[in-house]
Amino acid sequence: MAQDQHHQQDRLAFTIPEACQALSISRTHFYQLAKTGQAPAVTKLGSRSIILRTSLDAWLSAHTQSALGV
């Protein structure tokens, strides 16, 4: 498990299912967030949709701060 978390930290990008797993949210919830413009930014890479690590980190930081009232 610790090795899996370390591997996630080294990754530059995630698929949507991988990002959902990392965030512990369902794909349905992710798509609900995306529909309202509240999901992490998705980048198209050819026919694939990916979420860059930097986008995921920025989204997580912003939502953590807003949850804490910062």
User: Tell me, what's the pLDDT at 10?
Assistant: 82
User: Tell me, what's the pLDDT at 64?
Assistant: 81
CA distance 60 to 52: 12
User: Tell me, what's the pLDDT at 66?
Assistant: 64
pLDDT digits (tens, 9 = 90+) for 27-65: 999 999 999 999 999 999 999 999 999 999 999 898 886
Angle between helices 27-35 and 16-23 (to 10 degrees): 100
pLDDT digits (tens, 9 = 90+) for 6-27: 455 688 999 999 999 998 999 9
Domains and CATH numbers, the chain: 2-68 (1.10.1660)
CA distance 53 to 14: 7
Q: Is the per-residue pLDDT at 70 higher than 60?
A: no
Confidence tier at 68 by pLDDT (50, 70, 90): low
